[in-house]
Each structure stands twice: as structure tokens, then as C-alpha cells.
Amino acid sequence: MVTRRFLVTAGMRVGAPVILMLAAAACGSSASPETPPSGGSSTNSPAPTVDQGAPKMGGTLRISYSTAFLGLDPHKLTASGSLTFNSWIYPYLFHQPVGPASDPDDYSNMPYAAESWTQDNDTTYTVRIKQGIKWPAKDPMNGREMTADDVKYSYDRLVRISPYAPQFPIKSTEVVDKYTVRFNLKDPYAPFLQRLSSEPGFLLPREVEEKFGDFTKPENAMGNGPFFIKDYQVGTGGKFVFQKNPEFFMKDKEGRQLPYMDEVHYIHMVDTSAILTALRTAQLDLAGVPWPSVASIKASNPEIKWHESWGSGPSSYVLRFRTDQKPFDDVRVRRAISMAIDRDAVAKTFFLGNAVPNIGPIGNQKGFDHAPEKFYGDAFNYYKYDVAAAKKLMAEAGYADGFEVPTLYTTNFLGALYVSQAEWIAGQLAKIGIKAKVQVDEYAKYQTSTLVGEYNGMAFNPTHPYQDPDDWLYLHYYPGAPFDATRINDAKLNELILAQRKELNPEKREKLVLDAERRIADLVPTIQVGKGKSATGVHPWVKSYAPFSNKMTHGNNGIGYMQVWLDGSPTQK
Amino acid sequence: MAEYAMKRLVLFVPTLIIVTFMLFTLIRILPGDVVAMMNEFRTTPEAVERTRQQLGLDKPMHEQYITWIGQVVQGNLGESVWSKRSAVAELRDRLPATLELAVMAMTVSLTIAFSVGIISALHQDTKIDYIARGFAIAALSIPNFWTATLIIVIPSILFHKSPPLSFTPFTEDPVKNLSQFILPAIVLGINTSGSLMRMTRAMMLEVLRQDYIRTAWAKGLRQRQVVVRHALRNAMIPVITIIGLQLPLYIGGTVIIESIFGIPGIGNLTLQSITTRDLPMVSALNLVFAVFILGTNLLVDMAYGYLDPRIRYR
């Protein structure tokens, strides 16, 4: 099961003060941590031109997905493929701004199925949904209107059975009137509104579960989102055919019915060569391209336009330590390892320079025009490449001759680049005497062992994308949390983590989050290896596509593509 | 021969039971618990146990197997623990693509192997023979995934052309379907033809030296009659053996080819099922493979008797 979700460090209720402050405080440099970068104050490429003419209706967008299809029940699965598909079928209460005209770092909540909301007190939120939103006109909903009962049903079910339930601390959901629902939380919870715009907060019809048992089968995926599933064939080369929902409740500013495209074909492709070939020969309208292949495609297909995005959050790959095991229980050893890793080399080797080093787990969002050493203080030194200082620390810790340890990482399931990075890191550690024996685990074994902290010594893991810093802090560093793979259990850090969850004042919460970031940087339970930029090749007939991957967790895919249109596509008659 | 066939069919059942039980157990003792995978964030023992009970995994292994056998006998191969699609529906969707690729690839393989092998044998130690043998070595040595990647990438760069990389059923658009399948069939066929060609050549050389062949030449028979009617048939027994060994590869061993050319076949389904610990699907697929392999072995054995009437079965 794949759980590749992109980290989105979301802001607070409205606006993104935390993000902006985090960005200003955290570090990043295209050269090295101590060298200010040249040029650019934004981590994102300039937004593509907004003026692309009036949207044209029709056509079929062809894109690919590579994860296995594991069913569609949004409350039973966290697989990225499922979440992506669900976002085309079901709406949320809110969504984040997307599209070329939006600020990539604007995480504010915009109405989707919701019309308005109020926060009554620290633990109570009242949301009013739009009137007139209809479920599909087929059995078992038969075109009835969506009401507050549907919202209550959806969130009650989520809390009852979803793997994400710990991140939705809802005590009760009550129906106030036909279109108004009230959420009563167990405790003040700062990211709550963000949750209402992210997976798995999809709005579902009760009748489907009553008739079919759950929402797993594509035949039972009946929502009132922008698209519905017209047909599907699972397996490599097979595709999910999404057809636009003619009854969709949203229109654009000029009153045109959304979405613009007639169909979206999601084709299952797992081989990178096949994906790039399909992009070159216009069998795909757009695709993510690994950096080593970008130059080749630019040469063979100069008409393809390029969108680059830093995404959000920290690097994709993280080195973790079991801080409750020798020798990693000694913070000097962890700091030494951090200093032995040449992050600039990671950027050059694996991303052809399109990467920046990260220090903290929350990561930087925009702007490198700040002084990271000022923010992190002494901890900043642990992230400079300094083999001599690393050896000195190892000697102080009693490991002047180094030691041997297995490194666990997952298989080629996540790509050859990932495996290569692990091997490269092992080579770096050899400079300070650490013999890291690289060990490959099959993904199923990795997911039920390494991912949840059942490993010895060190592990090289992919990270999960999230909507809020709390996801990173709580899920990964709080004792007993699902992904507490380091067992750090630091009293001061625990206090900060719990405090930031409950702090509703954005400025105060921001301070708590930044304090946690600094604490983690000092303790070094994890090491971010480098944050890479992603490149997407897009054929020129695809309009209004924006590098909105900052906010594009898989669950925001549908809303993102809703405002894309095609002009001159081979699929348009 | 009929009696022999019946005896072999009777042995089918215990063999199937042994094979499927071994594989049934093996996938369940591999590290990586599907229940833990399904519960990811949920850590309460109650939730985990509930899932385990729903999947029937709380019972002892032999009980699980007996339950599964009982379902199989009634035609129920189970359903995916993830997608809830029945194994029968998955196989129904995937088998046609796999069989189509297998038939096309085998056709290519046999055509190349027999023609090149025979020509090579008839022109032993000539330039033609050396070229043919070189081709066989290349076919054996060059990985098919490398060839497949080159075949789609180079034309896409030079001519912006490639075969369709998403699946279209034959019934929907035969031309598009065949244009997708022809290249992977050629790649697979060439890859497997190498060993077949070498065996064909070797056996033909041995048979062509026999007295009865010399007699056939002496009688004035034409080359075609000597080669096809007299020599080839006698050379086929080891070749048929190799064909029988290669057949299962077409069914379950084409994961990479399926991935590159976008063919939703059994190979990818098997890999995905194992990776996601989709236990019912793995069991169903194992059954299909076991039946197929046992069946092809039986057909190969029966073919011996047809090719060489001197062979008698007991």
C-alpha cells in the first residue's frame, strides 16, 4: 500500500502566518547552509501567465498514476491513488486556493461544499453548507439534496473507522438545521479547519454504505464532486475514465459550468521510460519528469512547457535513528552523522542542483533570504558539512574507530533514486568510520516494521506529505504516535508538541512550532537529506495548469484540475 | 495413451493440494502483516483484531486452507482484501491480455526458432550458420527489458512515435490492440527463441546424421520432405520439453514487459498482490499457475507419444 502524501505545511485558520514565519525562520540555500543563495525570494517558479484566454470546454485530459489501485473507500484506505480518485468524486467542506492566479503559499480555506463557518469557542465550529447540492440522480440517492445529515454521517464515520481519526479529535458532530452542522472537539485543536479541506474529510452519502456495505468498489463511488467514474480497467495500461459531472455545483467567475474538460483519463503506468515516452508522443498531456531526463525531453520536445515546484515541507527522504538504542542514544553520534553528510552533493548528484538542504522537519516554504544560523543558533553547526568536526564528536562519544550498523530502507518501489541515495549516504558515513550495511526491505515488510519504528539503528525513510506542521510534529515525534520511528521522547519537545496543537492564537502557535523545530534540530533524531524541486512537463494545449503541488496533497487533486482546460488537444474535436 | 492421461489427471489433485498448500502457507508467514498494513494509523488492538477476524486470519492455518479449498470447489476464488473485487473478475479482466501476449509471443518465438534453427543446421559451419548462432546468443543474452525500453524510447525521441501505451481491448479496437501487442510479442518472442533455436539446431544436426535420413536422401526425396517429414519430427522431443518449460514464463513472468508496454496482465497482478499481501488474490493466482503448469506438463508428455509412436506409456 502506498502512502505517499505530500507534506503541506498549512497555515492557520485564515491566511498563512505560520507558513510565512516558518519560511522566514527556517533555512535553505542552494549552496550550503551558511551561504546565502543567489537570486529569488520564492521557492516556487514564477506563476505561469494567467491570461490564457477564455476557457474552452471539452476534451480529454490524459495523465498517469503509478500506485496500485486498492479500492476507493476514503475512510478505510490511505493509499495515494485512492485519495486522488476520491478527490475527483467527492467534495470537501473547504478547499485551498489553486490555479495559476493563486499564491502557492496561500493555505487559507475557501468554501467548497460549505458556504460559511464560525468558530463559536475554542472547541466548537459551526459550518453551513450550500443549498441545492444534489447527489447523483441514480439509485440509491436518486438525486436528493445534500444536507447537514450527510456531513454528520461522513464525519461520524471518519472518526469511527478512518486511519486518520487521531488527527480529527471530534467529540461529536451535531445537526443544527438542514444545512448547518456543528463540530464539538475534545480539546482546542489548531489545525482543525485545515482538516476540513483535506483527506479524508470527503462528504459521502449514507445510502451507499447502507446498500453496498462500503465505498470500496468504483461502481459504488457516487459523489457530487466535479467528476464521476464512467469506466475503469485496473492494472498496468488500464485507465480510470472520469467523466465530468453535469450537475456539479460550482461555476467559474463568468458563470461557466465547472469542470471545463469532458473527461479525464487516469492511466496506470509504472515504468518511467514508458511515462516519458507517452509524454513525448502526446499519449499523456502532462507528467512528472525526473531531473536527469528533463534535458532530453527539452531537446526532443521543445514545445513542452515546464512547471517547477518545490512542493511543501521537508525533503522527501529522511534518515532516522532509534534514539533508544546504542550508539544512537548519544546525541553526539547523531550530530556527527549529520555533519558527515554533504548536502550540496546530494543536490548536485541526485537533483542536478535542483534541491536545497533542509534542517528541520517542518521545512522551508519560501524565501532563502534569511540567516539560518541566527534561527537555529548552535544547532546550525550540526548541519554544516565538516568531516573533521564529525570525527571529533565521534571520538568524544567514544567511537573514534567508528562502528558497524545496518541501514534499512525500502525497495525500488519508491524508485532507483531513493535506493541510490541510501547507498550514497552509506558512503558518506564511511568517512567517519561508520560502516552502514545497506539492507533492502520489501515494501510490505517496511511498512509494518521500519515505518513504525521497528528497526535496528538507522533507517532511511520516505516522508509523508501533510497539511499542517502538527502532522509532522505529533505523528513523528510524540511518544506512541503512529510514526514515532525514533522514540526520541524528549520532555521539552513533547510539551511543545502538545502545546502547539492546542494553541489557537496563530502568532503564539507559530512560536511554539518554531521552538519545536529548533529543539528537533538540536536533538537530531532525524536528518533531512535534501529537498528536491519537481519538474512537470506539460503539453501546450493544457491551460491553466499551475505548480500547485504545494497544496496538492493527493486529496486536493480534483479541485486542482477542476479549473484546467484544453485548447487544441488531440482529443478535442 | 488414454490410460496414461487418466492416471496423470488423477495425480493432478494431490499435486495441486500440495503445491497450493505450500504457497498458501508461504505468503502468510512472510514478514509484512496485511492486517497491520490495513490499519496503518490505528493502533488499538481491538481494531486490529476486528480486521483479522473479518479476513478470517484469526483461525489456524490449516483451517484457513480448508475453508479456502471449500470455496474453490464451489467456484469462489475469494476477493481482494483491498479492492473487494472478486478474484474471478480480476482474472477475467487480466487473462485475455496475458493469453493474447503469450500466443503472439510464442508464435514469434517458434517461427524464429524453427526457421533459423533448421536453416542453421542445414548450413552448418557456413556464414549463415555463424550469423544464426550469433543471433541466438544475442537473443539469450540481451535482457528483454533493455530491448523493450529501447524499442519505445528511441522512436519516441527520433520520430515522436511509439506504440499505444495504454490498453485497448481487442473487441473494442482490434487495430489499436494489435499495434500495442505486436512489439512486446516480438521482444518476448525473440528473447525466448534463442534457447529454442539452439536446441532445434543441435537436434536437427543429430538427426540429419542418422541412417534413415541418408536413406531418404538416397531415395531422391526433396529437401523439404526430408527435413520436415523425417528429420524435424524426430528432433522435436527435447524442443517440446523446452517449450513446455517456457510456457509458464509467458503467463506469470512478464511483469517488466507488461509494465513497459502498459499491458494489464497476470504478471503485474501477481507482483502487486504479493507486495500488498492480498492473500486471497495470491492464493487464487497460485491456483491458476499450478493448474496451468500441471496442464502444460501433461500436454508436453502427451506430445511425446504423438511425435514418437515408439514411446509407450504405462
8 Å CB contact of B31 and A3: no
Residues A140-153 have pLDDT tens digits of 999 999 999 999 99
Give the angle A445-A450-A456 at the CA atoms, nearest 5°. 115
- Which of B82, B164, B277 faces A444 most closely, judged by CB atoms? B277
What's residue A292's pLDDT? 87
Provide the CB-side half-sphere exposure for A163 (13 A, CA): 21
A165: which chain B residues are within 8 Å (Cβ-Cβ)? 41-42
Provide the CB-side half-sphere exposure for B88 (13 A, CA): 7
What's residue A90's pLDDT? 94
CB B8 within 8 Å of CB B250: no
CB A543 within 8 Å of CB A565: yes
B-contacting residues in A 166-225 (Cβ below 8 Å): 166, 214, 216-217
B82: which chain A residues are within 8 Å (Cβ-Cβ)? 1, 70-71, 77, 216
Nearest to A22 by CA among A472, A527, A547, A469: A469
Interface residue B296 vs chain A (CB under 8 A) = no
A301: which chain B residues are within 8 Å (Cβ-Cβ)? 160
Secondary structure element (H or E) that encloses residue A267, with its range: strand A263-268
pLDDT, mean of residues A42-53: 41
pLDDT, mean of residues B210-215: 89
Band of residue A78 on the pLDDT scale cut at 50, 70, 90: low
8 Å CB contact of B164 and A283: yes
8 Å CB contact of A445 and B166: no
A-contacting residues in B 239-258 (Cβ below 8 Å): 256, 258
Q: How far apart are CA A164 and CA A464, in angstroms?
A: 13
Residues B93-117 have pLDDT tens digits of 999 999 999 999 999 999 999 999 9
Residues B245-278 have pLDDT tens digits of 888 888 888 899 999 999 999 999 999 898 888 9
C-alpha cell belonging to residue A453: 519504528
For residue A484, what is the nearest residue in chain B, using CA coordinates? B41
Cα end-to-end span (Å), chain A? 39
Interface residue B260 vs chain A (CB under 8 A) = yes
Interface residue B34 vs chain A (CB under 8 A) = yes
Residues B45-76 have pLDDT tens digits of 777 788 888 888 889 988 999 999 999 999 99
8 Å CB contact of A1 and B276: yes
Dihedral over Cα of A107, A108, A113, A118: its sign: positive
8 Å CB contact of B39 and A163: yes
A-contacting residues in B 111-150 (Cβ below 8 Å): 149
Instruction: Give me the amino acid identity at B39.
Output: N
Residues A477-520 have pLDDT tens digits of 999 887 888 999 999 999 999 999 999 998 899 889 889 988 99
Nearest to B98 by CA among B298, B288, B299, B235: B288
What's residue B156's pLDDT? 95
Q: How far apart are CA A381 and CA A338, in angstroms?
A: 10
**Distance from the Cα of residue A135 to its chain's centroid:** 29
Phi, psi dihedrals of residue A407, rounded to the nearest 5° = -110, 130
Q: How far apart are CA B9 and CA B15, in angstroms?
A: 10
C-alpha cell belonging to residue A421: 541515495
Interface residue B96 vs chain A (CB under 8 A) = no
8 Å CB contact of B156 and A281: yes
8 Å CB contact of A165 and B42: yes
Three-state SS at A185: strand
8 Å CB contact of A270 and B94: no
For residue B43, what is the nearest residue in chain A, using CA coordinates? A482
Interface residue A281 vs chain B (CB under 8 A) = yes
C-alpha cell belonging to residue A402: 567508528
Interface residue A237 vs chain B (CB under 8 A) = yes
Cα end-to-end span (Å), chain B? 8
Instruction: Give me the amino acid identity at A208.
Output: V
Q: How far apart are CA B66 and CA B59, in angstroms?
A: 11
- Which of A165, A283, A449 faces B166 most closely, judged by CB atoms? A283
Q: How far apart are CA A558 and CA A561, in angstroms?
A: 5
Phi, psi dihedrals of residue A95, rounded to the nearest 5° = -145, 165
Angstroms from A285 CA to nearest CA on chain B: 13
**Residues contacting B171, CB < 8 A, separation 6+:** none
Q: How far apart are CA A161 and CA A109, in angstroms?
A: 25
Phi, psi dihedrals of residue B167, rounded to the nearest 5° = -80, 135
Q: How far apart are CA A429 and CA A103, in angstroms?
A: 40
- Which of A274, A301, A447 faces B152 most closely, judged by CB atoms? A274
The neighbour count for residue B46, using CB atoms within 10 Å, is 8
**Percent of chain A whose pLDDT exceeds 70:** 82
How many angstroms separate the most distant Cα atoms in chain A?
73
At which residue does the C-alpha cell 498482490 appear? B273
ipTM of predicted assembly, 2 dp: 0.88
CB B35 within 8 Å of CB B41: no
Interface residue A412 vs chain B (CB under 8 A) = no
Band of residue A76 on the pLDDT scale cut at 50, 70, 90: confident
What's residue A196's pLDDT? 92
Band of residue A421 on the pLDDT scale cut at 50, 70, 90: confident
8 Å CB contact of B42 and A267: no
pLDDT, mean of residues A374-402: 91
- Helices (H) and strands (E) counted in chain B, each on its own, are 14, 0
